[in-house]
Amino acid sequence: MLIATYDDSVIMSNDISIYISLVLLAAVVFVGAERAFSPSFQACLSQSVASGEWIGATVNGYVYCSGNFITENKDAITAFADLVAAVFTISLWAATNRQELFTKEALISNNCAFVFVHNFAQFWKHDEKVGHYNWRLRPILRNSGNTPTKNMTIFVECEIRNTPIPPGYPFTPDPQNTVAGMLPPNLDLTGGVVPRTPGAAITPQDIIDAQSSRKFIYLWGVIRYSDVFPRTRPHITRYCYLITTTGDPLKFVPNTPGQPPTPGTLAVQMIHHSENNCIDEGCR
């Protein structure tokens, strides 16, 4: 899961920069206004500069003339100050709301439910007629988030095909085989068993044919759920795996220690298919 983080110091630094810029803008506007639009200020400043012999007198004259300018234009300056204060207040309000939004998004992102297929479980049953074992599979779903799911639905399918799944395959869930559930935080849950009963299970011959690429065994599904936070978008997880094996299924004996080529062992793996592996926005 991607974790959203926000640097409060960066946000605060940006807001302070905005405030300083507003103050400097107000100062520039004030100085520009008194120099460009006030003949009395210009006359006062010219007289002060002409009579002064050192820089301190000039500075004092500028302060004196600015005071006269403020007195003469106090109504306009008050209105301008009110405008600056209003802009400052709006900026502060916007910055506060933005900070609250960032905090909320970080809280949701760091704690919302996140469901994906962690692995799959194997179930085998002895076929007394032939003396071999047949297989069924169950996906293992994991919620790595800190909150439970809401309104979760699960669909899983196993397809034993003579050809690979073609590009653009629809992967459409069957509503009649879609089940509801709930997955608590930081826990695993097994999905439905496939191939479904009373249909045929995966046979040793299916596995042998898959090992020689005459058949292809896929485990795929769709998980939809919401999180506990209000006004958030529903989530979706799609997955599709090609099931591969190593070992001889005709000699398989459950719980035999070791790995192939040890007799009696069979290793089962899953490989991501090129499509139907996505979460949330990637699926939309």
Q: Can you give 169-238 as a three-state secondary structure string?
A: CCCCCCHHHCEEECCCCCEEEECCCECCCCCCCECHHHHHHHHCCCCEEEEEEEEEEECCCCCCCCEEEE
> Looking at the structure, do residues 274 and 232 belong to the same domain, yes or no?
yes
Residue 2: inside a domain = no
Final residue in a domain of this structure, among 111, 128, 148? 111
Question: 79 and 57 in one domain?
Answer: yes
146 and 271 both lie in a single domain: yes
Whether residue 119 is found in the same domain as residue 107: no
- Examine the fold and report which residue of 111, 143, 161 is the final residue of a domain before the chain moves on: 111
Q: Of the candidates 63, 92, 111, which is a domain's last residue?
A: 111
Per the structure, how many domains does the chain have? 2
Strand partners, 121: 138
- Tens of each residue's pLDDT in the chain, 284 residues: 333 444 555 555 565 666 566 667 666 665 655 555 556 656 665 666 555 544 455 556 666 666 666 676 667 667 767 777 777 777 667 766 676 666 666 666 788 999 999 999 999 999 999 999 999 999 999 999 999 999 999 999 999 999 999 999 999 999 999 999 999 999 999 999 999 999 999 999 999 999 999 999 999 999 999 999 988 999 999 999 999 999 999 999 999 999 999 999 999 999 999 999 999 999 97
**One domain for residues 154 and 253:** yes
Q: What is the C-alpha to C-alpha distance for residues 11 and 57, in angstroms, rounded to an integer?
A: 44
Which residues constitute the domain of residue 212?
115-282
CA distance 119 to 221: 13
pLDDT tens column, 190-230? 999 999 999 999 999 999 999 999 999 999 999 999 999 98
* CA proximity to 235, closest of 248, 243, 226: 226
CA distance 59 to 176: 87
128 and 266 in a single domain? The answer is: yes
Same-domain check for residues 62 and 181: no
Identify whether residues 89 and 208 lie together within a single domain: no
Residues 167 and 136 sit within 8 Å (Cβ to Cβ): no
Q: Are residues 201 and 189 located together in one domain of the fold?
A: yes
- Shared domain for 208 and 239, answered yes or no, is yes
